[in-house]
Amino acid sequence: MRSLLSAVLAAALALVAVLTLVPAGGGGWAWGSPAVEAHWYLSGLDSGATVLQLLGNLLLLAPAAALAVVRFPALQSPAVLAVAAGTAGAGIEVLQWLLPLGRVVSPLDALLNATGALAVGLLLTALIGPGAARLRGGFVAPCRG
């Protein structure tokens, strides 16, 4: 079962790579000012495109985070999970900066990606948390007697 979970996690991460690291323009990169982007989000919440962008950034790493929390029990520590989520969110933006993808490099996107991953990971940890479950081989099984 661990290998199946690992395979699904790898597929989720591959999808993240496709969504974030496929070239989207004529090479190079552009800077996404956090202040400008925050204003765009906050002033555009009545726009479907803005809400879709916001939710997309919040949920981008959510499936991978949920799978990783179950597969790697150390991620059930909020501190470890926060570091992993922050690293993943920042890593995407660093790769978009380093590679000639024609993407916008956005610290706010990194923060939103990490926030969504952290929220999902914490929620899942609370649902399967210690005392309610015993971890066996990376999976959660009910405690017995």
* C-beta separation of 27 from 100 below 8 A: yes
pTM over 0.85: yes
pLDDT at 47 over 70: yes
Q: Domain residue spans in the chain?
A: 2-21+30-128
Closest to 117 (Cα-Cα) out of 57, 65, 56, 76: 65
pLDDT, averaged across the chain: 90
Mean pLDDT (whole number) for 35-42 = 96
What is the three-class DSSP state of 40? helix
List C-alpha distances in Å: 127 to 19, 64, 69, 75, 103.
29, 17, 11, 14, 37
Q: Residue 143 — very low, low, confident or very high, per pLDDT cuts 50/70/90?
A: very low
Residue owning tokens 């906050």: 42
Mean pLDDT (whole number) for 88-113 = 96
